[in-house]
């Protein structure tokens, strides 16, 4: 099972996009080793590049000064609609040990358009 996204956009509680320059991020358990399609390509503000993952890896964001995440979205990539994620879980932690589910989506309907927001509304974090 593989998936791809061109951009992952995370907004704060005031709907301002949280800059990826203000975070530390890392990736676990992905198996794709093409550096041209590594996870950080979902964080480069360029819809023409993508993260392609054949291992269903996770991205972890660390905000040194803390952030309240309000909503988020991903953009589809260039090809193969079947690679668009339709199920996932977003979790948050204040101590990198105890994790709380902030949002979970399962088998949702998303756009068939390429380089586009997966849905017309951002997914809200409800905690």
Chain contacts with Ca ion (rule: CB under 5 A): 6-7, 41, 44, 46, 49
Closest approach, Cβ 98 to Ca ion, in A, equals 31
Cβ nearer to Ca ion, comparing 42 with 125: 42
Closest approach, Cβ 97 to Ca ion, in A, equals 31
Q: Other C-beta atoms within 10 Å of 4: how many?
A: 23
Residue 63 near residue 22, CB atoms below 8 Å: yes
User: What distance in Å separates the CA atoms of residue 75 and residue 118, rounded to the nearest whole number?
Assistant: 6
Residue 14 near residue 93, CB atoms below 8 Å: no
Query: For residue 117, what is the enclosing H or E element?
Result: none
Cβ nearer to Ca ion, comparing 52 with 69: 52
User: What distance in Å separates the CA atoms of residue 52 and residue 33, rounded to the nearest whole number?
Assistant: 9
Residue 54 near residue 30, CB atoms below 8 Å: yes
Using CB positions, name the residue nearest to Ca ion.
49
Cβ nearer to Ca ion, comparing 44 with 103: 44
Closest approach, Cβ 96 to Ca ion, in A, equals 26
Closest approach, Cβ 49 to Ca ion, in A, equals 4
Cβ nearer to Ca ion, comparing 6 with 38: 6
């Amino acid at each position: 099972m593989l998936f791809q996204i061109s951009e992952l956009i995370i907004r704060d509680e005031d709907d301002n996009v949280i800059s990826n320059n203000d975070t530390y991020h890392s990736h676990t358990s992905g198996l794709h080793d093409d550096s041209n399609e590594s996870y950080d390509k979902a964080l480069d503000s360029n819809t023409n590049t993508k993260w392609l993952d054949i291992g269903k890896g996770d991205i972890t964001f660390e905000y040194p000064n803390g952030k309240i995440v309000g909503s988020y979205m991903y953009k589809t990539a260039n090809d193969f609609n079947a690679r668009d994620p339709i199920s996932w879980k977003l979790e948050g932690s204040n101590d990198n040990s105890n994790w709380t589910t902030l949002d979970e989506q399962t088998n949702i309907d998303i756009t068939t358009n390429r380089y586009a927001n997966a849905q017309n509304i951002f997914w809200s974090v409800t905690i």
